[in-house]
Amino acid sequence: MSEQQRRDLDEMLRHAPLDVGGDVAEARVVFHEMMTSVPLPPDVTAVPGQLGGVPVVTVDTPGSDPSRVLLYFHGGAYAIGSAADATSLAADVSRRSGARAVCVDYRLAPEHPFPAAVDDAVAAYGALLDQGVPGARIALVGESAGGGLAVATLVAVRDSGMSQPSSAAVFSPWADLTVSGASATSKAAVDPALTPRALRTRARDYLGATPGAEPLASPVFADLTGLPPLLVQVGSHEILLDDAVRLASRAAAADVHVQLQVWPQVPHVFQAFAVMLDEADEALQSAAAFTRAHWAAAESASYASLPS
């Protein structure tokens, strides 16, 4: 773990051209250019398609088990980003987990406010079940807004009575659209990527007339009872630190198997920078190990419940 690596990443992000809270159309273009500036490795395939009527991009890496699926939700504050923009990080998770990743291109605000993203996420998950992929072989993964969406999807799936996935791993989740965590202020000076102003702007776009504390928009306010195992990773140099800590606390209070990993002096969704940051590689390895362990546990439980 190199202090110089962390400094270099911080400097790069502070000089990035993206304004998350700026004009939506411009932010989408800049974000796409940033996220796709480095080509995918030649051994990675990314194939567009549909799942439950929702556009998706399926990402495969060598040796991935086609019977296991990472249902992946991209970041972008619910207003920017796309499945295609997420393929690089999804491929990193796929490679380490040994499973294909299906990136969900959920509808974006302000054109499609809440609950459009949740509806699309649940539709995609339900379509996997309908295709015969058991919940025990599906894991949810999400970054930033996609992390909050992953947890909201868990809640919606539980409430619907559908078979639940084996686990979820969320990176720097935006889980409180009221932006009321103390770290929104206390970590503002050290966060090189996000500002409270930007998040509040995008929250208004996504929420429309919906209150910010709506549980399926801000899962820190949801009843998390009965959810599958949850891994929450966050950097200490980000304003969403308290979102992650409170989400993990709420899950623990609801008797959910939860792991919270706070990585010191790294920024928002640091996992995306594994090529230049040792902590990112280590975090991704940890997330993959968590996911594989809970696939194995869920599959064993499913086999044990079969009639003899």
Render pLDDT for 230-250 as a digit per residue (tens, 0 to 9). Answer: 999 999 999 999 999 999 999
List the beta bridge partners of residue 289.
none
For the domain bounded by 3-303, which CATH number is listed?
3.40.50.1820
Please write the tens of the pLDDT for every residue from 64-117: 998 999 999 999 999 999 999 999 999 999 999 999 999 999 999 999 999 999
Per-residue pLDDT band for 302 (boundaries 50, 70, 90) equals low
What's the rounded mean pLDDT across residues 168-183?
98
Structure-token pair, residue 264: 């010191």
Residue 308 pLDDT > 70: no
Measured between alpha carbons, how far is 213 from 9 in angstroms, rounded to an integer?
33
DSSP assignment of 30-73, as one string? HHHHHHTSSPPPTT-EEEEEEETTEEEEEEE-TT-EEEEEEEEE
Per-residue pLDDT band for 1 (boundaries 50, 70, 90) equals low
In the block, which residue shows the tokens 């990402």?
59
**What residues are annotated to the active site?**
144, 238, 268
pLDDT score of 306? 55
Q: Give Cα separations from 279 to 35, 127, 238 (angstroms).
A: 20, 35, 15
Please write the tens of the pLDDT for every residue from 131-158: 999 999 999 999 999 999 999 999 999 9
Amino acid occupying residue 30 = V
Structural domain spans, the chain: 3-303
